[in-house]
A and B are shown apart, each in its own frame.
Chain A
């Protein structure tokens, strides 16, 4: 079974530029999560989708971050414009059903550096 795919793996941009990350979850997984992990900290949930609907985006900085999950499969996370404090690893995860978060499967992450 293929795991969660993410691209790109690394991205370096200047502040005020925009960037987009892509995630393809495990086939059949209804729930998709985007996390932000700042160096030395645990992951912080940014947004959670159930199929193509948003379940939780309370910690998403909506003035600059946006995410979509068209057709309930893959998802993109965008930052526009980027700030220095957005430097982090962005992790995508998926799970089979919303009621089983302990079975979240994570992708390798995208390491973003904002200069």
Chain B
């Protein structure tokens, strides 16, 4: 069965510093997708970044990058130059084969990030 683990319940980072949020996953599938969502206190889930299991290069989206280490089954999110608006819950998620490919997304428990001015 697929599983997502986020071992950091809460993280603090100084404004303008970089921070890494950890994510490990477990799957027996060869084809899967990994991504990160941000959930501010308003509650809406915001898509940040995506990495396919066959993508050779790490994904980047602005200040977000995904450090994908397939052999270790890890997909850590790196946020560079943290801003106060980055304070939120961050969820790692995975999609995998089901009835069709790339369906049924599962989410990790989340990491709460607080940016300190």
Contacts and interface: CB of A to CB of B under 8 A. Distances in A.
A56 B33 contact: no
A99 B101 CA distance: 7
A42 B103 contact: no
A42 B102 contact: no
Contact of A41 (B46, B104, B109): B109
Interface stretch (A14-22, A43-51, A75-83): A43-51
Contacts of B46: 106
A106 B45 contact: yes
Counting contact residues on chain B (CB < 8 A from A), the size range is 20 to 34
Nearest to A41: B109
Interface stretch (B13-21, B67-75, B92-100): B92-100
Interface string B10-48: 000000000000000000000001010100001111110
Interface of A: 33, 40-45, 48, 55-56, 89, 91, 93, 98-109, 111
